[in-house]
Amino acid sequence: MTATNASPSDVSNNSRPSDKLSDDQLVKMLYDMMLIRRFEEKTMQAYQQAKIGGFCHIYIGQEASAVGSISALKDDDPIVGAYRDHGFALARGMHPNYCMAEMYGKITGCAKGKGGSMHMFDRDRHMYGGHAIVGGQCPLGTGLGFSIQYEEKDNVALCYLGDGALNQGGFFESMNLAAIWNLPVIFVLENNNYSMGTHIARGTAMANDLSAKAQAFGMRYAECDGLDVLDVYNTFSDQVAMTRNAKNPQWERGNWDEIEYSREGSNPGPAFVNVKTYRYQGHSMSDPQKYRSKDEVGEYKERDPINILVNHLIEAGKATQDQCHELDSKAKQVSKDAITFAEESPDMPTEEMFTDVYANPFGPYIKGGLPNIITNENSGE
């Protein structure tokens, strides 16, 4: 797990936050991306074998987005996202076994088999879930930012959303609330150009200049190359630093006319970050991808995020080809082991059906226990 206390980049010296990453940190980022890639390949295989059911959204191609942004966070900065969430779980440090077991609907899954592919939760790793209704997580992320500010903590909440969520009302309401209260939250647009099969230009006004979305709320805007994990990392290092410790102007009563919502610059406050990425696979496992050409996908694969980092590390002498192969082999093995773990785990038992409906249960409901990923030692309250 990469933790960093990155500070805003010193633009005048042209140095970037990634320059300060250690070799180990860089290798870890590479491995995390490889793990997501191999894990997702196994996920697709298991889905096609009908081991995994329901909707299943593959993260391949977008690895740099999760790994780069999460690497720029503190361990206890909360994140919440959408349904294409396996990559986030792994980038946040969830053991692949629990992630895969969840998709298998096994009791050993991160949500005991109650959530599935679209609902990866990990309380100890401050992952507040994948959420399946498009845009539904935006108010939740706003609530996380509100809570951080309420408790006067120095955390930042990251709220991930796809470009489809840009057109949901909840997104705009959330942006507005975050802006008026100056909440420590960053709305992370994972912009892979398609909401299902609809190109962003067909569904979203000002798709050619999404900064307009932030400007409407006087919110900081940033964008980055979502295929370059270091660019993602650098962008988030800066933005997180400028969001941390955001203060609510309305905690001072009475001087409403003086509230200034245009905070481009040094004032800590929320941000909207456009991560330009691309998914190689369809929207979900059942997507025939008639809406885009194979050539288009091929072009993006030329700029594969993993290859970009591998090339960078080899060129910079921070890793060898063999090391990279070794990392990849390890990622393959760990993914294979996750399949084995999931296969061998028991199903969610019948008696679990009525647990976790209520924390304070009544009638037919039963108090539930925590999933395997949270041990008694590291569980919270």
Partner 1 sequence: MVSTNGRTLQYREALREAMEEEMRIDERIFLMGEEVGEYNGAYKVSQGMLEEFGPRRIVDSPISETGFGGLGVGAAMYGLRPIIEFMSWSFCLVAADQIINNAPKMLYMSGGQFGCPAVFRGNNGAGGQLGSTHSWVVESLFSHVPGLKLAVPSTPRDAKGLLKAGIRDPDPFFNLESERMLGMGLHGDKDYSRYQHANKWAPPENDKDFIIELCKADIKKPGTDCTIVTDGRPVHFALEAAEALEEEGIDVEVVDVRTYRPLDIETIAGSVRRTGYAVVVDQSWPFASVGAEVASQIYEHCFDDLDNQVLRVHNDDIPAPYSRQREQDMLPNAKKIVDAVRSVTYNA
Residue entry with tokens 């964008």: 223
Residue 361 Cβ vs partner 1, minimum distance, rounded to whole Å? 9
DSSP-based three-state secondary structure for 199: strand
Give the shortest CB-256-to-partner 1 separation in angstroms: 10
Strands 198-199 and 194-195: antiparallel
User: Does 351 help bind partner 1 (rule: CB under 8 A)?
Assistant: no
- How far apart (Å, rounded) are the C-alpha atoms in residues 22 and 97? 28
Binding-site member from 68, 87, 113, 270 for partner 1 (CB under 8 A): 113
Number of residues that bind partner 1 (CB under 8 A): 56
CA atoms within 13 A on the CB side of 371: 26
To partner 1, the closest distance from the beta carbon of 183 in angstroms equals 9
If one asks whether residue 147 binds partner 1 (CB under 8 A), the answer comes out as yes
* Three-class SS state of 138: helix
> In this structure, what DSSP letter does residue 307 have?
H
Nearer to partner 1, 203 or 368 (CB): 368
Kindly tell me which of 47 and 121 has the beta carbon lying closer to partner 1.
121
Cα(68)–Cα(353) distance, integer angstroms:
37
CB of 23 to partner 1, least distance (A): 35
Cα 9 to the center of its chain, rounded Å: 23
With CB under 8 A as the contact rule, the residue among 17, 61, 68, 78 that binds partner 1 is 78
Q: How far is the CB of 114 from partner 1 (least distance, A)?
A: 5
Contact between residue 72 and residue 233 where contact means Cβ atoms under 8 Å apart: yes
**Which of 14, 49, 251, 288 touches partner 1 by CB under 8 A?**
251
* Candidate list 32, 63, 77, 122; residue touching partner 1; CB under 8 A: 122
| Residue 52 and residue 21 in contact, taking contact as beta carbons nearer than 8 Å | no
Collapse the DSSP code of 346 into the 3-class scheme (helix H, G, I; strand E, B; otherwise coil) and give the result.
coil
Return the H-helix or E-strand segment holding 218.
none
CA distance 81 to 73: 15
Cβ count within 10 A of residue 205: 12
**Which is nearer to partner 1, 61 or 145 (by Cβ)?**
145
In this complex, which beta carbon is closest to partner 1, that of residue 6 or of residue 157? 157
Q: Which is nearer to partner 1, 207 or 370 (CB)?
A: 370
Q: At 25, list the tokens.
A: 């940190």
The answer to whether the CB of 331 falls within 8 A of the CB of 31 is yes
Which of 39, 4, 26, 121 is closest to 339 using CA atoms? 39
Pattern of binders to partner 1 over 8-47, x per CB under 8 A? ----------------------------------------
Calpha distance 65→192 (Å, rounded): 10
Pick the binder of partner 1 from 41, 75, 173, 337 (CB under 8 A). Answer: 173
Stretch that binds partner 1, among 9-17, 301-309, 332-340, 361-369 (CB under 8 A): 361-369
* Per-residue interface string for the shown chain with partner 1, residues 330-349, x marking contact by CB under 8 A: --------------------
Picking from 213, 271, 286, the residue whose alpha carbon sits closest to that of residue 237 is 271
Single out the residue of 109, 164, 184, 226 in contact with partner 1 (rule: CB under 8 A): 109
- Determine the Cα–Cα distance for residues 133 and 139; give it in Å rounded to an integer: 12
Cβ at position 320, least distance to partner 1 in Å? 40
Residue type, 96: P
> Of how many residues is the chain composed?
381
CA-wise closest residue to 224 among 277, 278, 175: 277
Span near partner 1 by CB under 8 A; candidates 23-31, 146-154, 212-220, 302-310: 146-154
How many CB atoms are located within 10 Å of the residue 287 CB? 16
Residue 52 or 319 with smaller CB distance to partner 1: 52
Q: With respect to partner 1, which residue has the nearer C-beta, 8 or 369?
A: 369
Report the residue from 142, 182, 237, 281 that binds partner 1 according to the rule CB under 8 A: 142
Closer residue to partner 1, CB minimum distance, 87 or 129 = 129
Q: Residues in the site for partner 1, rule: CB under 8 A?
A: 78, 80, 109-115, 119, 121-123, 128-129, 131, 133, 136, 138-144, 146-148, 150-151, 169-170, 173-174, 176-177, 180, 248, 250-253, 355-360, 362-363, 368-371, 374, 381
